[in-house]
C-alpha cells in the first residue's frame, strides 16, 4: 500500500518524502509545481536511492485525481498542497480560497470515492489567531486568523472536523506547524522561495549568500525580551519525522486529532540572526524596520501532546537549522534552478 503525498515537491513535502521512504513506506507524489520544481523529487530519489511515482496533477482536477487513486494502491494521504504566501493571500483572497479550500474538498471527494479515509493535514499555528496566550495548546479556541491564508487553514480544519463527525470511519490528523526552517543535511533539498522571501530564515540565507544587502527586522518594540518577535522555529527534518508518527497513529485511530508540531521554545528574530552568525561564521547586516502588519509578538507551542501521544519531540535546535540552511543555500544559490 502507498501514501499519497499532495504537494510532495514542496519544501516540507520533499523532506517528508525522505523520512517516509526511510521508514519503509511506499509513496506516490502529486504536485502541480505552482511553487516547486520537479527537481526536488529527483533529489529525494537521489538521497534515498528509492524510486517512486511523481505525477503532475492539480488537486482541483477531479478526473486526474480519480485516475491516481485508480492506478495506485493508496491507503492514506498526507496533504501538503496549498498556497502559503500571507501577503499575496490578502491581495488575491479568492485565489487562496479556491486553491486551498476547493482543492481540499476535491481531494476529500476523490478519497471518499476510492474508500481512502485516512488523512494528515498541514495546518498552521496561525489558527491560534491573535487572542490566545503562549504557549499555544491544542484545546485552545482556534480562529481569529489575521489573513486569508490563515483562514483557509482554519476553515479546512473545520471541514475535516465536520467530516469526522458525520462519518466516524475517517481518521484525520491536523498538524499545526510552528515555523519550519532548515534543510536536509545532505544540502540537496531545502526551501526555494520565488522572488523576495517573505519569511525570516530564507531572507537571512539570501543576505548571507549576497543576494540581498541586509535584513529588515520588523519591529524592536514588542513586549519581548529584546523587543523583536518570538517564534518557535522547528527544523524541517524534525517536522518531517512528526508526519511519519502522525500517519502511523492515524492508521490506527479513527476520528480527528490535533497536534502542535513545534519545539516548545521561543526564539527572537535577533536570536535567530545571531544563531546563524555563530553557526556559520558569517555576519548578517540588519536594520530595524517598522512592524509588519498582522504579526504577533509571541508564537510558540506547548509541544507536550505530540510527545505524550505520538512519541515525537524535536531533536534539532536553531543552530543545527542555521548550519543546514546555509549548506543548502550556498550549494544552491538559485534554489533548484542551478
- Cβ 6 vs Cβ 54: under 8 Å: no
| Residue 89 interacting with ligand UFG (CB under 6 A) | no
Give the active site residue among 72, 96, 149, 154: 149
Annotated catalytic residue 149: yes
Given phi > 0 = left and psi -120 to 50 = alpha, else beta, which region is 198?
alpha
Q: Which residue has the cell 505525477?
A: 55
Q: List strand residue ranges (DSSP E) for the chain, in order.
A: 2-6, 26-31, 54-56, 74-79, 118-124, 171-177, 179-181, 215-218, 230-231, 233-235, 255-261, 267-268, 286-289
Site map 99..128 versus ligand NAD, x via CB under 6 A: x---x------------------x-x----
Identify which of 267, 265, 261 has the alpha carbon closest to the alpha carbon of residue 241: 261
Out of 17, 18, 31, 127, the residue judged to bind ligand NAD by CB under 6 A? 31
Query: In this structure, are residues 15 and 170 in contact, taking their beta carbons and an 8 Å threshold?
Result: no
- Candidates 100, 104, 179, 280: give the one binding ligand UFG (CB under 6 A): 179
**Among residues 19, 82, 222, 256, the one that binds ligand NAD under rule CB under 6 A:** 82
CA–CA dist 157, 153 (Å, integer): 6
Residues 6 or more apart whose Cβ sits within 8 Å of residue 195: none
> How many residues in the shown chain lie near ligand UFG by CB under 6 A?
21
Which positions from 43 to 82 touch ligand UFG by CB under 6 A, shown as an x/- string?
Answer: ----------------------------------------
Please, are residues 68 and 57 in contact by the beta-carbon 8 Å criterion?
yes
Residues 181-240 that bind ligand UFG (CB under 6 A): 198-200, 203, 215-218, 229, 231
Taking CB atoms, the residue at the shortest distance from ligand UFG is 229
- Closer to ligand NAD by Cβ: residue 58 or 320: 58
Of the listed pieces 6-14, 108-116, 289-297, 322-330, which binds ligand NAD according to CB under 6 A? 6-14
Chain Cα centroid distance, residue 237 = 11
CB 73 within 8 A of CB 1: yes
Task: Find, among 180, 134, 146, the residue nearest to 297 by Cα.
Answer: 134
Within positions 252 to 271, which residues make up the interface with ligand UFG, using CB under 6 A?
Answer: 269
Considering the rule CB under 6 A, would residue 84 count as an interface residue with ligand NAD?
A: yes
- Specify the residue, 165 or 292, whose C-beta has the smaller distance to ligand UFG: 292
Q: Return the active site residues.
A: 149
- Residues lying near ligand UFG in the complex (CB under 6 A): 84, 86, 124-126, 150, 179, 198-200, 203, 215-218, 229, 231, 269, 292, 295, 299
Amino acid at each position: 500500500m502507498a501514501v499519497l503525498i499532495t504537494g510532495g515537491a514542496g519544501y516540507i513535502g520533499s523532506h517528508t518524502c525522505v523520512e517516509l521512504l526511510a521508514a519503509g513506506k511506499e509513496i506516490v507524489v502529486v504536485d502541480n509545481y505552482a511553487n516547486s520544481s520537479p527537481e526536488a523529487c529527483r533529489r529525494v530519489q537521489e538521497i534515498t536511492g528509492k524510486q517512486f511515482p511523481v505525477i503532475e496533477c492539480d488537486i482541483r482536477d477531479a478526473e486526474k485525481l480519480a485516475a491516481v487513486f485508480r492506478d495506485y494502491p493508496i491507503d492514506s494521504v498526507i496533504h501538503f498542497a496549498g498556497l502559503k504566501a500571507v501577503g499575496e493571500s490578502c491581495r488575491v483572497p479568492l485565489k487562496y480560497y479556491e486553491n486551498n479550500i476547493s482543492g481540499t474538498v476535491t481531494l476529500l471527494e476523490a478519497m471518499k470515492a476510492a474508500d481512502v479515509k485516512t488523512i494528515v493535514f498541514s495546518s498552521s499555528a496561525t489558527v491560534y489567531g491573535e487572542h490566545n496566550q503562549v504557549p499555544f495548546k491544542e484545546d485552545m479556541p482556534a480562529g481569529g486568523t489575521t489573513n486569508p491564508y490563515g483562514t483557509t487553514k482554519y476553515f479546512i480544519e473545520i471541514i475535516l472536523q465536520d467530516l469526522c463527525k458525520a462519518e466516524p470511519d475517517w481518521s484525520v490528523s491536523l498538524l499545526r506547524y510552528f515555523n519550519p526552517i532548515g534543510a536536509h543535511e545532505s544540502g540537496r533539498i531545502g526551501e526555494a522561495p520565488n522572488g523576495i522571501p517573505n519569511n525570516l530564515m530564507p531572507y537571512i540565507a539570501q543576505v548571507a549568500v549576497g543576494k540581498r544587502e541586509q535584513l529588515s527586522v520588523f519591529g524592536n518594540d514588542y513586549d519581548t525580551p529584546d523587543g523583536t518577535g518570538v517564534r518557535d522555529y522547528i527544523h524541517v527534518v524534525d517536522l518531517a519525522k512528526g508526519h511519519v508518527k502522525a500517519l502511523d497513529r492515524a492508521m490506527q485511530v479513527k476520528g480527528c486529532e490535533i497536534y502542535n508540531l513545534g519545539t516548545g521554545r521561543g526564539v527572537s528574530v535577533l536570536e535567530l540572526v545571531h544563531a546563524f552568525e555563530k553557526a556559520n561564521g558569517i555576519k548578517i547586516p540588519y536594520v530595524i524596520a517598522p512592524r509588519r502588519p498582522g504579526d504577533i509578538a509571541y508564537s510558540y507551542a506547548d509541544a507536550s501532546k505530540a510527545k505524550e501521544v505520538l512519541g515525537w519531540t524535536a531533536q534539532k535546535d536553531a543552530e543545527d537549522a542555521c548550519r543546514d540552511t546555509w549548506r543548502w543555500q550556498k550549494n544552491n544559490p538559485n534554489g533548484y534552478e542551478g
